[in-house]
Amino acid sequence: MEKLIITACICGAEVTKEQNPAVPYTVEEIAREAKSAYDAGAALIHLHVREDDGTPTQNKERFEACIKAIKEVCPDVIVQVSTGGAVGMSNEERLQPLLLNPEMATLDCGTCNFGGDEIFVNTENMIIDFVKNMNERNVKPEIEVFDKGMVDMACRLQRKGHIKTPMHFDFVMGVNGGISAEARDLVFMVGSIPQGSTWTVAGVGRNQFPMAAMGILMGGHVRVGFEDNVYLEKGVPAKSNGELVAKAARLAKELGRELATPAEARKILGLPEQK
């Protein structure tokens, strides 16, 4: 079985310091949390950014400052920018981080109810426009899917020539409005993607580590971090993203999977070697 890539989603767009004081907002805090995750075994940082007051933003300059700060403390880590942003942002806002020519970016492949009146909108034409922007800049998309229909959308767009192969999927499971986080669901999702694709699983909330264990056993990769879950275990807030990554790393060791370094992760994902 190939080595395990651990992705750390260090802050997201919704989680707050009220939920866990260690959630990073400032550039310095984001670099701190990226370093804690990297030191614990994460090869890839999934990056949202915030203003100092915690407001989510897709501002290019803010992303640039955060990426620079991350690279100063972990120079070889893969930084994957979010083009999801936050609910209600315009396409132009969401696409701003691509102007920095990152190695990877998320490509959300469908619309999802996020609870209450919140709808995360990604029409087919939006998806085509987003991936066109990525292709023009040689940015590898991580195909982020919340349900089976989004896998089908990605596969259809791949057949039409919009999405390049091999594809890399991120199954976000347990989101309100998306697929649940049961073992049968992960097996179903993995069985739905084209042969030769790679995949990561991200379980939300209490599903984070059960899904991580499944992903490790099934030969996939795993995502942990404050964006999806702020607890190390029931009732125990994590002190850092590093604690969450370290727990995933312990699971991997017990289950016989070695961790991929950033250089090894680049090979697995088909990214160019870092210069």
The per-residue pLDDT for 1 is 85
In tens, the pLDDT along 136-163 reads: 999 999 999 999 999 999 999 999 999 9
CA distance 57 to 79: 17
Q: What is the mean pLDDT of residues 99-120?
A: 94
What CATH code is carried by the domain that includes residue 197?
3.20.20.70
Q: Give a yes or no: residue 274 inside a domain.
A: no
At 100, the amino acid letter reads L
Q: Are 41 and 63 in contact (CB under 8 A)?
A: no
175 secondary structure, DSSP code? -
| Residues 46 and 12 sit within 8 Å (Cβ to Cβ) | no
**Residues 28-75: tens digit of each pLDDT:** 999 999 999 999 999 999 999 999 999 999 999 999 999 999 999 999
218: which 2 tokens? 């099934």
Task: Tell me what the mean pLDDT of segment 236-246 comes to.
Answer: 98
Paired residues of 56 in beta bridges: 50
Query: Do the Cβ atoms of 238 and 226 come closer than 8 Å?
Result: yes
Domain of residue 167: give its range: 6-269
Q: Which of 241, 235, 246 lies closest to 22 in space, CA to CA? A: 241
Q: Are the beta carbons of 85 and 121 closer than 8 angstroms? A: no
Whether 275 is covered by a domain: the verdict is no
The amino acid sitting at 175 is: V
What pLDDT is stored for residue 140 in this prediction?
98
Residues above pLDDT 70, as percent of the chain: 100
The confidence score (pLDDT) of residue 275 equals: 62
The structural domain count of the chain equals: 1
Helix axis angle for 208-218 and 183-190, nearest 10°, is 40
* 55 domain-assigned: yes
With respect to residue 10, please indicate whether it lies within any of the assigned structural domains.
Answer: yes
